[in-house]
Structure 1
Amino acid sequence: MSMLRNAAIGAALLGCVLPGAVMAADNVLTLVIGGEAYDGPPKFEVSFDGHLIGKGAVESAIDTGNDGRFADANDKAAYVQSFEFRIPDDVFASGAEVRVRLTNEAFGGEGSNRDRNLFLASVAVNGRAVTLSGLSTADVNGIAPSETLGEFLVLLDGNQQAVSKAPRGGWPEAGASIAPAKFVAERLPVSGLIDLKVPKVVDDGVQRDASTEPLSVALLDQNPESSCQIDDLHNVIGFNENSNDLTDRLKKRLDQIAAAIGRQECTAMITGYSSTQGDYATNALFSVERAQNVLRYLREQGVKFAEVNAVGVGETTQFGEELNANRRVVITIRP
């Protein structure tokens, strides 16, 4: 995903939308969006805290009539753009919600390959980004099931909107220095897990008893001379019920992530999750083992980390009502 994002932002220097002159002190909202074109590019509008702040069109969108579908493209970066919009000072709020809507939905008919859609990769305000795991879909009835493609939230219908709530701690103000994201996991009671040895954790220099920390097994590599230009998040979805095994589909996904990281040595947090189906304690162990298996596989593919943690936070419903959506591992990569 980082290669895609870098390519998209680089290409967007020629085609980004600037609703107003953006100065250093302005509040800026940045979208990274791919598209499918049919009889013209997909157009969209973006709102911040309920206020319309801009409109745009993905001119680089793939022509579904001649070039096929976005999902089938080997190099999706060619069909992705970055857009910037100024947020007026009187509209900016650190806890505001961002919404994106497709405004010119079109479809060539049943059996036709012609379609016009949006693929939202990220929303950022003043440099702080929210990617797929923080995005959802809403319609007139409220939150609706989301359709995803890799690292993209798909907008097929003009009646639906992509929704990004403010990240933990809120959107930063313009000009504020953005501290590196802290990897904070949900805390789990450890009842029923007393046989699992959990190391003590040090956070901001304060050592705490492991029984008050997330169920985790931390695996660390240290290399102070390593360099990394990646700031990204990857979702690994598709674990089978009651299983930590890496299927061929999951390995293919991890191969893509390994290729994106390449030879860079970054800091990573690998967080495992489970669904709410089954025993609570067993689900907690599943989440740890899924994260560990992902880390082990990435290392086997030659990925090296400056520092890495494999953590399980147990069962969750934060990724939606579908059980399978919550059987996942989230890989956060930082310089």
Structure 2
Amino acid sequence: MISTRYSLARLAAISLAGVSMTVFPASAGSINVTFTLSGEAFDGPPAYEIRYGDQEIAKGTVENAIDTSTDGPLSKLTDWQDHQKSVTVTVDSADLEKNQPFSVHFTNDKWGGAGSGLDRNLYVISAQVGDVKVASGDMKVLDKAQPKDNATGPRGARLGNNSSIAVIAPPATGWLPAAMQATSSAGAPQSAAAAPAAPQAGTSPSALAAEPAQEASPAAGSQTDATTPAAPEKVPNAPKSKASTNTATPSPKAKCAPKTLGVSGFPLNRSDLPADALPQLKALAEAAAKEGCKLEVTGFSSVAGPRKMNEALANVRADAVADFLKAQGVSADSITVVSGGETRRFGRKGVLNRRVTVEVVDGN
């Protein structure tokens, strides 16, 4: 069993027995979160990455995954115990009260070809957040195009390729018992959000939620606009950004004229930045960095599909834009990222609501 501590405020990275993980100092009011994983190996074991909201909290490999080249697939076994692994992460109750979804990502898919029987897959058997138990049948397995099979029982939630994600959404009552929520709100200090890691070139954050596959994908390109949209709808328990509370003061000579840039045309179920939005985003970032402006980045999704999944996807899209702005020189503490959740306000077609707005929120 791997045990790590997770707090949005402070972190240190270590590596133990080939498994990278994120370790945080102890604090009061922490909750154990345990994931039971299994897997099929081919030319190496399957690798996983676990996130709370958009923050990575653990990653590693299922070293005891069954070797499909010598022992065949897991489906031939009635007992998977020898090929299971438990990963335990300790999460601060103040962070759990935000009721963001957990997600498990499969990151190193490999296949030997049709008829070979050689395959590398990851299975999420179960998750337990404090006293809340989540069986695989209550998870949502998502793909970049459409929901995949959501197997129950010993097979777990099957992740068969690098775009597969198992999403564990909080129950309607939240991750914490009501009594603990009240205690956490009253007595726990506000955690400062950790700054996100810079995206690697050519990559974008993975989507955490799904809009239905039958929704038409947008044509190549995107729309940008300079009109200010109405205030986002208030969505209960909408995931909040990892961005920290803004404390930086703009330069007294800053000339931050109010402006809103709208970026639409995001691909279905994805957070890849539309190519023709990049010049406008780069120009806005350069001006904001030069003048010391603060920006508010708000992500949206269409209303099609499960609400909690769409809220998470809206947040991931906003993060993708924020990461691009930071890569262009905008200070992390000058950006606030929020999720506007699912909406119809930009038009009747879903493609018009797969959008991110960037607003200059303060001026001279």
**Which TM bucket (shorter chain)?**
0.3 to 0.5
Normalised to the residue count of structure 1, the TM-score between the two structures is: 0.44
